[in-house]
Amino acid sequence: MTTRYRVEYALKTHRRDQFIEWVKGLLAVPFVLHSQPTGVFETRSNSVKMMAAEAHRRYWEIMRDVEVMIDDHIAHQEVGLHGQSKLKLLVPSIGTFFTKLPLADAFIYQDKKRFISSRRFVPPSFNDVRLILNTAQLMGVTSAGSIDLATFDGDVTLYDDGQSLEPTNPVIEKILYLMSKDTKIGIVTAAGYTEAERYYGRLHGLLDAVKASTILSPAQKKNLIIMGGESNFLFTYSPTSPFLLTHLPRRSCKNSMDPIYVLLSMPREFAFMLPDQVL
């Protein structure tokens, strides 16, 4: 679903990830050099296949080179010199990477699904690069071992903008599988509801599935939390609550979150020095 908010947001280039824009620019070069925007009457099918193969090779090489630059950036991070990496010099807005990104393998996977190399009229887009990065992030995280925590946005991620997570949504089965592996699940949404009923209305498909699940133990079911209102309202799964959620007051976790309160009390100039996650 396309909304006016999403369209206007996409048109503001300063709000778009400059790293993705940079990678998109790199991929534009082989597209211009090797694409053959001929008409539908083209009879030399072999030429199109050769074009796609050459474009695939060049795209793969670029993604592999970027992957090596990210590894170099991570190596600089580990010794406190991330500001001197080549990637930082090329993309000044780049932040901190917490996992390796196998971009070359991720490109091969997405190219099979989206036929990026076979396109003759449409170059690799912002969304193409973003999907490749997302795939690489998943590959990097899963290859490092078990996942302790997985968080998801609500609108435009788990369900369409302004809609709800219905029981027929295929993502529910995947979330239950993660929970069965002792992975904690967090749904983070900007919806600022203060009562559990409203969150149940948006997430009833998942909550009902967790309650009815026979593959999850009672302890695993409690590994589901809902963070609403831009991290202002925390709800945890509760099978005995009318709407399967219980509000966790801020004061109940204040003592165990002293470092967070110290962080929030830091002067603004020190906060700017903290690392940030871009991907």
CATH number at residue 213: 3.40.50.1000
In the structure encoding, which two tokens stand for residue 184, read together? 């904690």
* Range of lowest pLDDT (74-78, 111-115, 184-188, 262-266): 262-266
Give domain status of residue 3, yes or no. yes
Residues 14 and 128 in one domain: yes
Domain that holds residue 76: 1-144
List, for residues 191-222, the tens digit of each pLDDT value. 888 889 999 999 999 999 999 999 999 999 99
Give domain status of residue 265, yes or no. no
Residues 92 and 228 in one domain: no
**Furthest CA-CA distance within the chain:** 73
In the structure encoding, which two tokens stand for residue 173, read together? 């089965």
Is 71 among the residues known to form the active site? no
List, for residues 11-20, the tens digit of each pLDDT value. 555 456 899 9
Mean pLDDT of 80-94: 93
The answer, yes or no, to whether residue 181 has pLDDT greater than 90, is: yes
Give domain status of residue 57, yes or no. yes
Mean pLDDT of all residues belonging to the chain:
84
Give domain status of residue 243, yes or no. yes
Give domain status of residue 35, yes or no. yes
Residues 128 and 163 in one domain: no
The answer, yes or no, to whether residue 45 has pLDDT greater than 90, is: no
- H or E element in which residue 86 lies: helix 86-90
Residues 58 and 174 in one domain: no
Residues in CB range of 167: below 8 A, 6 or more apart:
204, 205, 208, 209
Mean pLDDT of 216-233: 89
- Pair type for strands 224-228 and 233-237: antiparallel
- The count of structural domains within the chain is 2
- Which residue among 89, 116, 144 closes a domain? 144
Select which of 153, 160, 161, 182 is catalytic: 153
List, for residues 116-175, the tens digit of each pLDDT value. 999 988 999 999 999 999 999 989 988 877 788 888 888 778 888 878 899 999 999 999
pLDDT of residue 1: 46
- Which residue among 144, 160, 178 closes a domain? 144
Is 153 among the residues known to form the active site? yes
- Are 26 and 66 spatial neighbours (Cβ–Cβ below 8 Å)? yes
- Are 109 and 146 spatial neighbours (Cβ–Cβ below 8 Å)? no
